[in-house]
Amino acid sequence: MNSDTPALKQGVRAWLTSDAPESRFHAQMVQLYAGWQSLCANKLAFVGFLIIVVLILVAIFAPLLATHDPSIQDLKATLLPPQTDGHIFGTDDSGRDIWSRVVYGSRITLFIVALVAFTAPVFGLLVGTVSGYLGGWVDTVLMRITDIFLAFPRLVLALAFVSALGAGIENAVLAISLTAWPPYARIARAETLTIRHSDYIAAIQLQGAGRIRIIIGHIWPMCMSSLIVRVTLDMAGIILTAAGLGFLGLGAQPPSPEWGAMISAGRTFIYDHWWIATMPGLAIFIVSLGFNLLGDGLRDILDPKKADS
């Protein structure tokens, strides 16, 4: 059985690196494996990938990794420095374990990132492709609305929406999504304008395909690579916006262990008890760095101009 293992690995590798795929699924697997090899070859991008994987694992196994309940207060153990009485990152002014709160805060961060990643790009993709494909007055109206949203700084616009909707993590996610879609619409429109008069679109139109089928079935897939790169690069900004809302008390509400709210609570003690604000701040920094590194790597992998060269 052991002697067959190298041959099996070589067979799988040969199948994944084949120059003549036998099916559409085979071609997708070959392309996916080539992208994985490119990601592994880019050391910084691979580091970013590992950071995101660690974030996901920490969020999944938070009950196992946390050493204390993140919401229970212990007034006898307030403001303990790191590595004291089993508190890895120390405690805050209410005696809550900061390590446990940072671990559980990864769930809130991942929740915000996932919801925004599945709402803002989809809406922006819809607006951009419809605008680019239909053109005319539809393009003018949709792009002017997009320009209005782009005219305001994202955090300021998010603050306005949260103030109108009310504080809370759900309203914060909705506000961030409402402010994050315009760049995706711009990218999707630009991609659509480059391919809407191509020969294969004309052939599909001659076969009787409707506008909806063309947009969803043939234009959307061509826009996905650019949007994936943009989403990955935007995640750092989304995390910072969510942390900013939490810092101002408009995001996740106490006693939720949201990183921005933890920094806000620790700013009063920043000189004497630095760990209260520093630990969640480092978590935000590391996760944001991971998304930026991964986004740069995906941009290099999915850039067709670089692939052609």
Sorted by where each starts, the structural domains of the chain and their CATH numbers stand as 27-308 (1.10.3720.10)
Residue 305 confidence (pLDDT) above 70: no
| pLDDT, position 202 | 84
**Residue 135 in this model has a pLDDT that exceeds 50:** yes
For residues 248 and 306, which has the higher predicted lDDT (pLDDT)? 248
**143 has a pLDDT exceeding 60:** yes
Q: Determine the pLDDT at residue 7.
A: 60
pLDDT of residue 218: 86
Distant-in-sequence, close-in-space partners of 25: CB < 8 Å, separation ≥ 6: none
- Residue 21 Cα to chain centre, angstroms: 32
Confidence label for 222 from pLDDT (cuts 50, 70 and 90): confident
* pLDDT of 309: 43
Judged against a pLDDT cut of 80, whether residue 140 lies above it is answered with: yes
258: left (phi over 0), alpha (psi -120 to 50) or beta: beta
- Report in angstroms the alpha-carbon separations of 159 from 14, 91, 119, 169, 170: 53, 30, 19, 13, 14
> Of the given ranges (73-87, 101-115, 134-148), which has the lowest mean pLDDT?
73-87
Q: Which of 22-36, 62-76, 181-195 has the lowest mean pLDDT?
A: 22-36
Question: Quick one: pLDDT at residue 4?
Answer: 55
How is residue 125 written in tokens?
């993709």
What pLDDT shows up at residue 9?
Answer: 65
Q: Do 102 and 68 contact (CB within 8 A), yes or no?
A: no
Q: State mean pLDDT over 191-207.
A: 86
CA dist 106 and 114 (Å) reads 12
- pLDDT of amino acid 288: 93
Radius of gyration of the chain from its Cα atoms, rounded to whole angstroms: 24
Q: Please say if the pLDDT value at position 51 is more than 80.
A: yes
Helix (H, G, I), strand (E, B) or coil at 179: helix
Percent of the chain with pLDDT over 70: 95
Question: What is the maximum alpha-carbon separation in the chain?
Answer: 77
- Beta-carbon contacts of 245 under 8 Å, excluding residues fewer than 6 positions away, are 158, 159, 162, 172, 175, 176, 251, 260
Higher pLDDT pick, 7 / 182: 182
Amino acid at 86: G
In the block, tokens 């084949």 appear at 18
Mean pLDDT of 210-230: 87
Phi first, then psi, for residue 303 (nearest 5°) are -75, 110
Q: Both tokens of residue 233?
A: 């690069």
Which pair of tokens denotes residue 210? 């409707």
In this predicted structure, what is the pLDDT of residue 1?
46
DSSP state of 217: I
What average pLDDT does the structure give for the chain?
A: 87
Q: Evaluate if residue 2 carries a pLDDT over 60.
A: no
Share of the chain above pLDDT 90, in %: 36
Distance set, CA 72 to CA 76, 254, 255 (Å): 12, 12, 9
pLDDT tens digits for 10-43? 777 777 777 777 777 777 787 888 888 888 888 9
Does the pLDDT of residue 149 top 70, yes or no?
A: yes
Query: Are 262 and 105 a contacting pair, CB within 8 Å?
Result: yes
Please, what is the Cα angle at 42 between 40 and 46, to 5 degrees?
55
Q: What is the pTM of this model?
A: 0.86
**Is residue 54 predicted with pLDDT exceeding 60?**
yes
Residue found by looking up tokens 């006898």 in the block: 76
Output the CA–CA distances (angstroms, integers) from residue 63 to 57, 113, 166, in the order listed. 11, 21, 30
